[in-house]
Amino acid sequence: MAIKKYAVNPEDDLGFGTQAVRQRIINRDGSINVKRLGIPFFSTTNTYHRLITMKWSSFWVTVITAYIIVNVFFALLYLFIGIQNLHGTGDNNVSNHFLNAFFFSAQTLSTVGYGHISPAGNVANWVAAFESMIGLLAFALATGLLYGRFSRPSAKFVFSENLLIAPYAATGGRGLMFRLANMRLNILLDVAIEVTFSFNEIVDGKTVRRFYTLPLERTRVSILTLSWTVVHPLTEDSPLYSITAEDMKSSNATFNILIQAFDDTFSQTVHSRTSYQHDEIIWGAKFVPAFSHDQDGQVQLHLGKISDYTDVELPIIG
């Protein structure tokens, strides 16, 4: 086994703990592969979280369903009060009482209030007054959510599909490399990265998960305008110095990546995550440049070429 033993440094495990894992904790898309049981379903924050992070299609279904349910509720209420308390339904060319009440409810809830149907009598007027208040608040909530979803700051990086073991000129040895670029129009500043290598080790016959924060050639760029090739130099100090593909597989090696950046459009800090597993590593390859110059001399970055690599021979190590 060529992974160096080292004293446990609890500051390195990122909060994952030391239990052996059979699956990734951080998925490729950055989501977390841990199920928490016992989270309260009806908490304001969790409801907001679900409504903000659900897919757009689910969001629209939720909004429209809620609109219909509220209108059905008020329509039934108007029917209960008596359809004769809604004046003007006779000219609405809708014979069904429930639908007349439903359409009046929709006109009240959305505050469009044409007035060809109007409430009459105390009770219908009270309900309509209350419904229009609820309508304004509910729509504001829905539109707040809509805008919240739309304007939520989030980083979106394109990562190279593979982690490469490549020649590393600065040391004359090897380096572990992956590449990333910003997929958004937003300008990212103060981009910081943290790469953690985790693997299984057998201690006293028990499998224990180990974590090691890898030193990088650089851990921060001031402004991310082009692609960034993140490099962990495989020097003798690295626990991965003489590791083989076989070692990686048998120890279920995983590389967890956390990125933090400042988004200039939103003026907020954003985060992103991904991971690489042992079967996503290419031994002996280097990245092909992903940028070019156009005829005016302007630099062009091709986001589709971020993953492109070419095979090379690796320097022999001690």
Among positions 128-187, residues that touch its own copies (CB under 8 A) are 128-129, 132-133, 135-137, 139-154, 156, 170, 181-187
CA distance 12 to 258: 13
Which residues inside 29-48 make contact with its own copies, applying CB under 8 A?
32-40, 43-48
Rounded to an integer, what distance in angstroms lies between the CA atom of residue 117 and that of residue 107? Answer: 9
Structure-block tokens of residue 292: 């070019």
| Contact range with its own copies by CB under 8 A, out of 84-92, 160-168, 199-207, 238-246 | 84-92
**Closest listed residue to residue 53, CA positions, set 152, 139, 141:** 152
CB 251 within 8 A of CB 277: no
Strands 173-182 and 163-168: antiparallel
Q: How far is the CB of 152 from its own copies (least distance, A)?
A: 7
- 308 burial level (CB within 10 Å; 0-12, 13-18, 19+): middle
Of residues 6, 73, 80, 291, which one binds its own copies by CB under 8 A?
Answer: 291
Nearer to its own copies, 88 or 284 (CB): 88
* Interface pattern 87-116 for its own copies (x via CB under 8 A): xx--xxxx-x--x--xx--xxx-xxxxxxx
Q: Which residues contact 64 (CB under 8 A, 6 or more apart)?
A: none
Q: How many CA atoms lie within 13 A of 188 on its CB side?
A: 28
**Cβ proximity to its own copies, 116 vs 236, nearer residue:** 116
Amino acid identity at 140: A
Of 50 and 236, the one with the shorter C-beta distance to its own copies is 50
Q: Where in 225-244 is the site for its own copies (CB under 8 A)?
A: 225-228
Closer residue to its own copies, CB minimum distance, 267 or 310: 267
Rounded CA-CA distance 317/16 in Å is: 32
The answer to whether residue 212 forms part of the interface with its own copies (CB under 8 A) is no
Closer to its own copies by CB, 13 or 242: give it. Answer: 13
Work out how close the CB of 244 gets to its own copies at its nearest, in angstroms, rounded to a whole number: 25
Of 2 and 114, the one with the shorter C-beta distance to its own copies is 114
Closest CA to 176 of 257, 233, 237: 233
Nearest one of 253, 245, 252, 219 to 233, comparing CA atoms: 219
Contact 4/206 with Cβ under 8 angstroms? no
Is position 58 an interface residue for its own copies (rule: CB under 8 A)? Answer: no
Pairing mode of beta strands 118-119, 86-87? antiparallel
Q: Is residue 217 at the binding interface for its own copies, with CB under 8 A as the rule?
A: yes
- Residue 69 engages its own copies in binding (rule: CB under 8 A): no
CB-nearer residue toward its own copies: 127 or 164:
127
How many Cβ atoms sit within 10 Å of the Cβ of residue 219? 14
Size of the residue set binding its own copies (CB under 8 A): 140
Which of 4, 87 has the CB closer to its own copies?
A: 87
Does residue 14 touch its own copies according to CB under 8 A?
Answer: yes
Identify the residue among 16, 98, 241, 283 touching its own copies (CB under 8 A).
16
